[in-house]
A and B are shown apart, each in its own frame.
Chain A
Amino acid sequence: MKKQKNENQNFMNPYLAGTGLGLTLLLSFLTLGAGLGASSGIARIAACAELCIARTHTLSSEYFGKWGDAPLRYYLVFMLAGTFLGALCSALMADRVHLRVERGEKASNRLRLAYSFAGGVLVGFASRLANGCTSGQALTGSALLLTGSFVFLVCIFVGGYSTAWLFRRQWND
């Protein structure tokens, strides 16, 4: 518990971190001509995995099929790798790399991991449906003032707040 408190105090001021993120996004607009993204990278990994398991099936599928036989050759895959590396740098600098399952003290690892996996499935699916996640739609699209992205952002909070009570036990201390 003590360690966690220390970690918290090391976090950057949220408004400064937000400004940093905003400038990163702006840099992305100016250099790439496109915003940030994370879920596409994950989906490309999924396509790659499916290709290894069932090649012809994947190539002939309507959605992954159009990415061809080298789905990882895509800028957002590189961005996802960069996100991991950047976070690793920051975490190492602040001594925040510790192998563990993050959960409430009274919750079991199993419950937390089951929720993580199920949440991951929903998020992975919804990101494809909405053509982006919190990074690619909510953050990037809102900065571009796109209607769909605002709708998506509002709906994330509606979906989250309305069901938060159901999943609260994983954080019980």
Chain B
Amino acid sequence: MYHLDTLGSAKAFVAALLIGVAFGFFLERAGFGSSRKLAGVFYFSDMTVIKVMFTAVMTALLGLSICVACGWVSMDAIYLMPTVYGAHIIGGLVFGVGFVMGGWCPGTAAAGLACGKADALIFLGGAVAGSALFNEVFRLVRPLYEAGDRGVVFVYNSLGVSRIGFTLLLSVAAVLMFWGCEWIEDKRRREPRSRHENSVLKVVSVALPALAVLVAAVGIDANGHESIAAVGAITSIAAETQLLDAVEQAQDHIDPADLADRLVNGEPGLVVVDIRPPEEYAHFHIRGATNISMKEIYRNLMPYKNIGTIVLYSDGMTHPVQIRDSLYRMGFRNAYILTDGLDGFVQRCLTPVSLRGEPVPPATADRIRLWRSSFLDSGDSKPAQMARMSDEWAWLVSAEWLEKHLGDRNVKVIDLRSQPEYNSGHIAGSLALAVENLRTNVNGVGSMLQPADMLARHVSLMGIRPEDTVVFVHGDKVHDATLAGMAMERIGHKHYAILIGGFEQWKADNKPLTTELPGFSVSSYPVVPDADSFTVDYKTVLEYVRKKSAVIIDVRPADYYAGTKSDEARAGHIPGAINRPYTEDIAKAGDIQQLKSIDELGKVYSQIIPSKDAAVVVHCRTGHQASQTFFVLKHLLGYRRPSWYDGGWAEWVARTDLPIESAAAPRK
């Protein structure tokens, strides 16, 4: 029910209640309705706790391993708790003290209460108070609560042994522990163990290791490899058989013509993934395909697991097949490979009728013509894709390019000028957006770019999909377009571009305008929470300042940098920061504003930043202007490690414990 997300259903509640009944029944049977018996383990007078606990752990562990090996259940379907070292160590120690002090733990106290123990009731009252206390001081303990978070980690991986080896070891250790417990109790006991007790102990001592060996036998295949994988995705013979069945029934691939039709029809939820290297993708790809590297496949496709259709392709079949099978093992039932890959697609769908060796029926010829017009640039018989500057993705597009691609299904145009300006005439199909609406107050700092989930919702309402190319049209501020670009980066959007010269260029070129609202449909943009690895907070910047390990570029006007002008309580700049006003990167021609040429920008920044791999932080007052410098460095000049301090000077200066530097009072 966990994997189907139905733990909140009435059925789950009834199941939980019944399982609870069994749980409580065995707890009480074992004698855990007595605090004295429980506490006895800490005084070596009664070792029942250890005996029961480890027998239960081993029973469940071995039982589950058998169920997984037989394909009755997958580990994917079970909730696995993350390992958080700080919380687990401190939590364990405090829990241990509370346990020995109170003589109960939560589950046994419920059993104790059923036996009429007043101390159990008081203990439960204390536990309720302790939980409430945790909530009240959560803000303070949060760092500990999250300290050393490693995600889901298995103990055999932590110890560097195999799952099977560890299980065998644990079963032997449990048996030894049981005999140790009996030995401790024997020393205190007057009468010897009963024959019944003796025989149960002996049966358990043989059964646990024997079952562990059985699990090992089922889990290791003829080649000596563990088919029970070491990582979370535990596969099984049955699951593999299922996978092979799907392959046999040809449920694993999709025909090029079928894909072409579905793309042309704009099927919702269709995700086409190009797994070739980015350079090859940039050179040519199926229009609408997203480029994802092999390493990032799982993470990037997670939002599409069993939603819609995923089609994988490269120029051969091998890699897509392996990835598809891997996805299948991870529970994806909606991943397909494109038959014969990209080459097959070009041959089957994009080769002109005139060049085909065999005669083509008229209906097919029509389809081919439709495909060619949809997947190839009009009037161009050679496969070509989007506007390109050299072999890179074009981060800047010309008005000519945009005009040619206005009707494309995958091109979304966003107009960043004011509402009245938009209303009095805009590019056909463009949607209006005020960039300020992408910002909000985060943690007390105003004008911060919104978190990824809010931005994803925002772009969904504008009908933008992950595979779209978004073109930003700015008015008199190029940095409006780059700030909107930051929003796209934060949600992990691959393709966006800025119209060179913005709206004024379009107007100057006498391109057509309209006052009509565009037709569009709302999309559902998936939230990829970790796409943003470029935004840094003041702590990171402070670290850089202390260690002098990054180039900090302050893009505000020179008088603000110098401290002669200020809108804040303190004037000056971050210690060690270099001033390069963002306006210096702009070329103006009348009303038309655009970024200076790449050569010109490249020369300037090579003077400021020692290498393309140097760590760089850009900031301004609120993050708006700095987004432009970030765009220049990252996308136009190819710096590999620029980061963006969104909080900027406004936050830095308001945190009075942070150091500043100004021309008036130079650093000591």
Contacts and interface: CB of A to CB of B under 8 A. Distances in A.
A24 interface: yes
A167 B101 contact: yes
Contacts of B3: 33
Interface stretch (B20-28, B272-280, B312-320, B608-616): B20-28
Nearest to B119: A116
Contact of A34 (B21, B78, B102): B78
Contacts of B25: 20, 86-87, 89-90
A59 B1 CA distance: 27
B43 A171 contact: yes
B610 to A, nearest CB: 42
B502 to A, nearest CB: 43
Nearest to B127: A124
B484 to A, nearest CB: 31
Interface string B8-42: 10001111111111111111111101111001011
A95 to B, nearest CB: 11
Interface string A144-172: 11111111111111111111100110110
B141 A86 contact: no
Contacts of B110: 38, 80, 83-84, 87
A152 B92 contact: yes
Interface in A28-45: 28-36, 38-39, 41-43, 45
Contacts of A97: 114-116
Q: Which of A22, A115, A133, A168 has its CB near the most chain B CB atoms (within 10 A)?
A: A22
Contacts of A132: 81
A129 B141 contact: yes
Interface string B126-142: 11111111111011011
A154 B26 contact: no
Contact of A22 (B15, B55, B95, B112): B55
Interface in B50-91: 51-61, 63-64, 67, 72-73, 77-85, 87-91
Contacts of B58: 22
B245 to A, nearest CB: 24
Contact of A96 (B28, B122, B178): B28
Interface stretch (B151-159, B433-441, B518-526): B151-159
Nearest to A128: B134
A26 B92 contact: no
Given A83-B107, A128-B131, A130-B88, A18 B123 contact: no
B573 interface: no
A48 to B, nearest CB: 9
Interface stretch (B197-205, B281-289, B551-559): B197-205
B145 interface: yes
Given A18-B53, A86-B23, A117 B123 contact: yes
Interface of A is mostly: helix
A18 B52 contact: yes
Contact of A163 (B33, B97, B125): B97
B163 interface: yes
B663 interface: no
B131 A127 contact: yes
A56 interface: no
Contact of A83 (B27, B63, B91, B155): B27
Query: Chain A interface residue count: which class?
Result: 35 or more
B172 to A, nearest CB: 15
Given A32-B7, A82-B23, A151-B88, A19 B96 contact: no
B92 A17 contact: no
B19 A112 contact: no
Interface in A97-113: 97-104, 112-113
B127 A39 contact: yes
A113 B122 contact: yes
B209 interface: no
A90 B29 CA distance: 6
A124 to B, nearest CB: 2
B225 interface: no
A85 B124 contact: no
Contacts of A103: 36, 119
A145 B61 contact: yes
B106 A135 contact: yes
B193 to A, nearest CB: 11
B92 A47 contact: no
Contact of A85 (B20, B36, B108, B152): B20
Given A62-B138, A83-B107, A127-B91, A159 B96 contact: yes
A166 B129 CA distance: 23
Contacts of B56: 18-19, 21-22, 25, 139, 143
B214 interface: no
A10 to B, nearest CB: 9
Given A21-B56, A159-B92, 17 more contacts: A31-B15, A33-B1, A33-B79, A34-B2, A39-B106, A42-B106, A42-B124, A83-B27, A84-B113, A102-B103, A116-B103, A116-B119, A120-B102, A152-B88, A159-B95, A161-B42, A171-B39
19 contacts: A11-B29, A15-B51, A26-B63, A32-B12, A33-B1, A33-B79, A38-B107, A42-B106, A42-B127, A47-B132, A82-B19, A122-B130, A126-B94, A127-B127, A128-B130, A130-B88, A134-B53, A151-B89, A159-B96
Give the 7 A-B residue pairs with the shortest CB-CB distance, closest first.
A120-B126, A82-B20, A119-B102, A159-B96, A124-B130, A22-B59, A155-B92
Interface of A: 7-8, 11-36, 38-39, 41-43, 45-47, 49-50, 58, 61-64, 73-76, 78-91, 94, 96-104, 112-113, 115-164, 167-168, 170-171
